[in-house]
Amino acid sequence: MSRSRVTEAELHGYLDGELTPPERARVEALVAEDAETAQRLGEYRNLVEVLRERYDGVLDEPVPQRLMSVAPAATRRASRVLLRCAAVVAWLALGGLAGWHLHGMQAREDRAAAPSWAHRAAVAHIVYSPEVRHPVEVGADQEAHLVAWLSKRLGAPLRIPKLGGIGYSLVGGRLLPGDRGPAAQFMYQDAQGQRLTLYVRTNQEQSKETAFRFAQDGNVRIFYWIDRGLGLALSGEIDKEELLRVATAAYQQLNP
Amino acid sequence: MGVHGNKHFLMRVGSRKNLQEAPLNEFSARVQELIPRLRRYARALTGERSAADDLVQDTLERAWNKLHLWRDGSDLRAWLFTIMHNVHVNQVRSRAASATVSLDDEAADAPVRPTQSDMLEVRDIDTALARLSVHQREVLLLVALERMSYDETARTLGIPIGTVMSRLARGRERLRFVLAGETSPATLKVVK
């Protein structure tokens, strides 16, 4: 390009407000005498208008709830606990479970991913929560027996959090094969039949990490944590905040 | 449920001392303010509403996962758009096996989303955009819709400013060409 013609860079820079005043003046002077470039500039400018006309309307559309609920909202049902936990949630290991499905029992022990016992909790939830006739081995009507039996099998005194106060009643529980021995699953459901399961295993690792952790596999969300030698995982197909609310209540029940 | 009187619990989970309640609260609100803009960009980038919102959701989830990498005082919009760029490019790469999408500028001569060709008349600009490479589309949209400067665009996409300018020039020229050939003149009347 000769000096007397507008360069590509100048033309686009002019359009996008990237030029200094003297550079703008140069482009304007040259374009005034160059019908072809003036036409092109007009078409480029028109392109920008067409794009904005086509897509700016998205700004006024209501944002779907699924997007608003990704971030822990500041205004919505915001409690101190939720916000504190959100900080922990920021450290979570999303996606770790998806890999489990692919790799089966050869799941890698990735430090960033959810531990294998949390995977087991998720799978146990997926297997038993839809069960209509035999969701549990021992029903809530024999709660004392359930606790005594599972405590004996796990070799640790178990307690079952009472979540009736926040809308989840105990269905019962069952014994499960864990990664290193017996594990227990307690099932709850709300008035609509939405089920949550609390998975309990004895924690052989001397982990000092007691924070809530979060993982997700498809629709199943899991909060898991370590409490006095026990690993606990609460699984459900409900939104993260609601699950956290229940997990918090369960924690408080076990640590009055 | 009582959320009060659980100091013990708070101490246990509140070990991330750099993420106090108030800043997190404010951060969350600022992220939410930017969601409509992320949606606009994603809509233009993907050309489909549900795919766009999936992209936004993946972006937000990733942002919350990477919260520890966020530096207060830096440009939140650029940070989120960078994350969206990375998520999108990864998605495009993982679909690349089907050979219907291309990241490269050079491959843009072929239609990149042939599945949409039947919607030519209804959505001229969508179809025209789909004929750009992903790279060209990104630059074009950040500049046109987000009104980012070349410098902001370069930092957001992690490319040199010269690359921004060349992609923009080629993308615009191609878009002009495609629209001139495939749309009725009425939609392209020159704005004086």
The DSSP string of A188-218 is EE-TT--EEEEEEEE--S-----S-EEEEET
A 10 A CB-CB count for A105 gives 8
Q: Residues B167, B136: contact at Cβ < 8 Å? A: yes
Superfamily of domain A82-254: MucB/RseB, C-terminal domain (3.30.200.100)
Helix, strand, coil distribution of chain B in percent, nearest 5? 70, 0, 30
**Range B44-63 average pLDDT:** 92
pTM: 0.51
Name the band, by pLDDT with cuts 50, 70 and 90, for residue B187. Answer: very low
Chain B residues touching A78 at Cβ < 8 A? 25
Whether residue B110 has pLDDT greater than 60: no
Distance of alpha carbon A119 from alpha carbon A213, whole angstroms: 13
Confidence (pLDDT) at A14: 95
Pick from A61, A74, A255: CB nearest B25: A74
Question: Mind listing the pLDDT tens digit for each residue in B73-109?
Answer: 788 999 999 999 999 999 888 876 555 555 565 444 4
DSSP state of A139: E
Residue B163 lies in a domain: yes
Distance of alpha carbon B20 from alpha carbon B120, whole angstroms: 51
Whether A126 and chain B come into contact, CB under 8 Å, resolves to no
Residue B145 lies in a domain: yes
Distance from CA of A55 to the nearest CA of B (A): 6
Distance from CA of A90 to the nearest CA of B (A): 5
Angle at A76 between CA A75 and CA A82, to 5 degrees: 95
Quote the tokens at residue A139: 């029903």
DSSP state of B48: -
Domain with CATH 3.30.200.100 in chain A: 82-254
Pick from B10, B56, B66: CB nearest A84: B10
Tracing tokens 């686009």 back to the chain, one arrives at A12
Domain enclosing residue B144, as ranges: 21-184
Residue B11 lies in a domain: no
Residue B15 lies in a domain: no
Q: What is the mean pLDDT of chain B?
A: 75
Question: Mind listing the pLDDT tens digit for each residue in A124-159?
Answer: 898 888 888 888 999 998 999 999 999 999 988 899
Residue B14 lies in a domain: no
* Three-state DSSP state, A236: strand
Question: Mind listing the pLDDT tens digit for each residue in A158-173?
Answer: 999 999 989 999 999 9
Check CB contact under 8 Å for A70 and B60.
Answer: yes
Check CB contact under 8 Å for B39 and A61.
Answer: yes
Distance from CA of A49 to the nearest CA of B (A): 8
Distance from CA of B99 to the nearest CA of A (A): 24
CATH number of the domain encompassing residue B121: 1.20.140.160
**Range A33-61 average pLDDT:** 92
Check CB contact under 8 Å for B6 and A81.
Answer: yes
Question: Mind listing the pLDDT tens digit for each residue in B118-147?
Answer: 344 335 788 889 889 999 999 999 999 999
As for the ipTM of the complex, it is: 0.74
Residue B10 lies in a domain: no
Whether A148 and chain B come into contact, CB under 8 Å, resolves to no
Whether residue B184 has pLDDT greater than 50: no
Residue B148 lies in a domain: yes
Check CB contact under 8 Å for B150 and A56.
Answer: no
Number of domains in chain B: 1
